[in-house]
Structure 1
Amino acid sequence: MNEHVRVAIVGGGPAGLTAAAALARHLGDGVLLIEREQETGGIPRHSDHLGYGIRDLHRFVSGPGYARRLTAAARAAGARLETGAMVTGWACERSLEVTSPRGRRVVHAGAVVLATGARERPRPARHIPGDRPDGVYTTGQLQQLVHLHHRDVGRRAVVVGAELVSWSAVRTLRAAGCRPVLMTTADAHATLRRAGRVAFGVPVLTGTRVAAVNGHGRVTSVDLEDLRTGRRHRVPCDTVVLTGDWIPEHELARTGGLDLDAGTRGPRVDTALATSRPGVFAAGNLLHPVDTADAAALDGRHVAGAVLAYLAGGAAGGADGGAGGVELRCAAPLRWIAPQLIRPGGPAPVRGRLQLWCATYRAFPRVVAVQDGRRVGAARLPWPAAPGRVFRVPFTLVAGADPAGGPVTVTLDR
């Protein structure tokens, strides 16, 4: 069975839903969104606390409420939302193989938007030694157990990580009647450490790692190691929540032969969010791990304009470092940069910002951009660069790059 649509969107989280709503206002039911879960909304759907919708909706709502709003907006605009369906592969350039309880078919699209998001690494991928008891969860597993299935998750928890999502895990534990006794992070400076301690009263140990998980049948304790001294101590607990350490859900991008970035592990894109395959775009946390839901939604809004321009006969895109583009790179202590390509005449990136990830804390970072040994931009920023959250830099920093020159490298001055 074959189906033809103007735009196929893979992934029903904030980026996909927002793109669907924006595109359907122009294309109506020619926009098909495909979501493997039984409901759209993504991670916010089972993150039942306030804090969503600030940047995109200009409202302060709960995760489930946010998911419902975005879903309703996409439907009202005329987009078709198909749930319980899995994109299993590519039939050709912009044709997707779709499998669902309704059968198998190929969806041929004028343009494809990949918005498959990111996931936290489970314990095996983090190489944490020790026993293999029950009671070890990622944030997503914890939130589904608590908010969707209303299950008991224990009484004393250690949270591994101190990012924004880690504080979301703390809220979920509290809602389940489980006391978070400690947060631990290998970073020397924890994101929102002081604010979180004031709000939640949870101690945060920086510069530490989980050396072992102990317990038979159920977690009984974890051994923590101080990375500066090597000393270890044991913390009694019956629950361990592994937060952060994200990786993009890039399987579909990889099997489609899209160029992937070694730093983000997501598709390489230009400022229009076009990938290396003409007519295939990417948005949201598939592009980099990991930003807030409303920031991903703004990606969806941004990519809609680029898709409409492509369908109207605009540039085909292709973030391959050539075809009239200048490659963007970063240097330590920066770990990755997105987007990775700027083109003459191309749009500014989302919100006029480049996105980066920093391995160390800098209170008032001075950012510099260098091309062919020449400094093309520099800026002292009033916001910090910190591990555990996206670091945004004004696009004007690289706007003066020579379109015929070599790669532009962005880094921090000492």
Structure 2
Amino acid sequence: MSEHVRVAIVGGGPAGLAAAAALAGRVDGTVLVLEREAAPGGIARHSAHSGYGIRDLHRVLSGPSYADRLAGRAAAAGAVLETEAMVTGWAGDRALEVTSPRGRRTVSADAIVLATGARERPRPARGIPGDRPAGVYTTGQLQQLVHLHHRAVGRRAVVVGAELVSWSAVLTLRAAGCRTVLLTTELPRPELRLPLRPVRTRTRVAAIHGHGRVSTVELEDLRTGRRERVECDTVVLTGDWIPDHELARAAGLALDPATLGPRVDAALRTSRPGVFAAGNLLHPVDTADVAALDGRHVAAAVLRHLAGAGRPASAGVELVAEPPLHWVAPQLIHPGGPPPARDRLLLWTTEHRRLPRVTATQDGRRLGSRRLPWPAAPGRVFRVPYALVRPADPNGGPVHLTLGS
């Protein structure tokens, strides 16, 4: 069985739903959103605390309310939201293999938007030794257990991480009646100043112990090497994100070695014509409202593609993040072409700078240098004005971005 649509969007989280709302009704044909979960909305659907929708909807909503609002907007615009639909592979350059309770079929499209998001690495991927007891979760697993399935967790929890998603885990534990006794981070300071103590910095989880259920976590002080055990029955592993890039890899799209997501230009075009990407698949991980704004942004490029606009003649100018900057998104720009979403470059740093100075150079020439009034900190996306690289020579070499104090 085969089906053709005008636009296929893979992923019904904030980026995919925002793209669908922006495209449906503006294209001649079907805009189809393929979501593998039972309902659209992404991570926000099972994140019951508030704080969603500030940048895109200009209001403060709980996660489920935000998910419902985005899904409602996409449906009202005329998009088709298909849930329990798993995209298992490719059947051509712009053709997807889809499996659902309704059967298997091929969906071809004139444009495809990949909005598959990101996930936290589970314990095996982090290489934490010790026993294999129950009671070890990522934040997403915890939230689904508590908010979707209404299951109980333990009584005493250690949260590994001290960033925004860690606070989300603490709130979920609190809703389940589980007390957070400690947060730990390997960094010299918490990525987020949380209204909670204690927070152990420069500390790693050396092992997890327990038979049947977690009983203790073994912590190591990275400064002294001293180890101690903390009693708990629940461990939540937060942060350490990786994009859900399996579909992008299967397509043979060019991937960025730092983000592990598809390489894109400022219009969010991937290396394959007619295939675009948006949201946390590109920059793991940013807030849900920024992912939604990515979805709105990619819609303009999709419309230009559907109208017959060709790709830029040049390959573009590469952006290179120099240490302690770890990655930059987008990775390519076309000077004189469309700027990135919100006129911002997104970067990730491994070191803290309270009032950072960012400098852009190309072929030994300084394009710009600016001291920014907001900090650059590990564990959160660092935003840099696009104006810094706007003077780049379209025929020049890579633009290097450096971070100073």
- TM-score normalized by structure 1? 0.96
Q: Which residue of 2 aligns with 1:208?
A: 203
Equivalent residue for 2:272, pick from 270, 273, 277: 277
Structure-2 separation of matches of 1:286 and 1:99: 21
Task: Pick from 383, 389, 393 the counterpart of residue 398 of structure 1.
Answer: 389
CA distance in 2, matches of 1:254, 1:248: 11
Could you say which residue in structure 2 is the equivalent of 1:387? Answer: 378
Q: Deviation at 1:233?
A: 1.4
Question: Matched residue of 1:364: which SS?
Answer: coil
Counterpart in the other structure of 1:54: 54
Please state how far the C-alpha of 1:174 moved relative to its aligned partner. Answer: 0.3
Equivalent residue in structure 1 for 2:225, among 205, 223, 230: 230
Q: Decide whether the 8 Å contact of 2:335 with 2:390 is kept in 1.
A: no
Q: Aligned letter for 1:140?
A: G
State the SS of the aligned residue for 1:351.
helix
Q: Is the 8 A contact 1:189 1:387 kept in 2?
A: no
For 2:330, the equivalent position in structure 1 comes to 339
Question: 1:149 corresponds to which residue?
Answer: 149
CA distance in 1, matches of 2:163, 2:78: 37
**Amino acid of the residue matched to residue 260 of structure 1?**
L
Is contact 1:219–1:238 with CA below 8 Å preserved after alignment?
yes
CA root-mean-square deviation: 1.1
AA partner of residue 266 (structure 1): G
How far 1:28 moved relative to its partner? 6.6
Q: Distance in 2 between the 1:259 and 1:190 partners?
A: 34
2:225 partner amino acid: G
Secondary structure of the corresponding residue to residue 12 of structure 1: coil
Q: Give the distance between the partners of 1:106 and 1:345, measured in 2 at CA.
A: 38
Match of 2:341 in 1: 350
What pairs with 1:12-23 in structure 2 (closer than 5 Å)?
12-23=12-23
**CA deviation digits over 1:137-178, x for unaligned, max 9?**
000000011001111110000000011100000000000000
Where has structure 1 moved over 2 Å in runs of 4 or more?
A: none
Residue 37 (structure 1) aligned with residue 37 (structure 2):
yes
- The answer as to whether partners of 1:284 and 1:299 remain within 8 angstroms in 2 is yes
Is the 8 Å Cα contact of residues 326 and 348 (structure 2) preserved in structure 1?
yes
Query: How far apart are the structure 1 equivalents of 2:33 and 2:44?
Result: 18
Q: Deviations over 1:231-265 (max 9, x none)?
A: 11111100000000000000000000100000100
| Superposed counterparts of 1:138-287, under 5 Å | 138-193=138-193, 196-197=194-195, 201-287=196-282
Alignment check: 8 A CA contact 2:335 2:391 kept: no
In 1, the alpha carbon distance for the partners of 2:120 and 2:252 equals 24
1:409 matched to which residue of 2? 400
CA contact 1:28–1:78 (8 Å) conserved in 2: no
Q: Matched residues in 1 for 2:52 and 2:283: separation?
A: 19
Q: Distance in 2 between matches of 1:346 and 1:102?
A: 43
Q: Within 5 Å, give how 1:287-302 maps onto structure 2.
A: 287-302=282-297
Structure 1 residue 404 displacement after superposition: 0.6
The 1-side partners of 2:82 and 2:5 are apart by 13
Match of 1:312 among 266, 286, 307: 307
Instruction: Determine if contact 1:3/1:107 at 8 Å carries over to the other structure.
Output: yes
Tell me, what secondary structure is at the counterpart of 1:265? coil
How many residue pairs are counted as aligned between the two chains? 405
Q: Answer whether contact 2:38 2:83 (CA < 8 A) is retained.
A: yes
What is the CA–CA distance in structure 1 between the aligned matches of 2:166 and 2:69, rounded to whole Å? 25
- Tell me how far apart the structure 2 counterparts of residues 206 and 36 of structure 1 sit (CA, whole Å): 37
Deviation at 1:29, TM superposition (A): 5.4
1:324–1:403 CA contact under 8 A, matched in 2: no
Compute the displacement of 1:192 (Å).
Answer: 2.0
How many Å apart are 1:215 and its aligned residue?
A: 0.6
Deviations 1:377-411 (Å, cap 9, x if unpaired)? 11000000000000000001111111111001101
Match of 2:319 among 311, 328, 349: 328
Tell me if the contact between 1:329 and 1:407 (Cα under 8 Å) persists in the aligned partners: yes
Alpha-carbon deviation of 1:290? 0.1
TM-score (norm 2): 0.98
Distance 1:30 1:345 in 2: 32
The offset of 1:376, in angstroms, is 1.0
Report the secondary structure of 1:74's partner residue.
Answer: helix
Give the equivalent residue in structure 1 for 2:116.
116
Kept after mapping to 2: 8 A contact 1:29/1:78: no
Contact preservation (8 Å) 1:189, 1:386? no
1:120-135 residue pairs with structure 2 within 5 A? 120-135=120-135
Q: Which deviations, in whole Å up to 9, do the C-alpha atoms of 1:190-230 show, x marking residues without a partner?
A: 1222xx12xxx331111110011111110011111111111
Q: Is the 2:320–2:328 Cα contact (8 Å) retained in structure 1? A: yes
CA contact (8 A) 2:27 2:303 kept: no
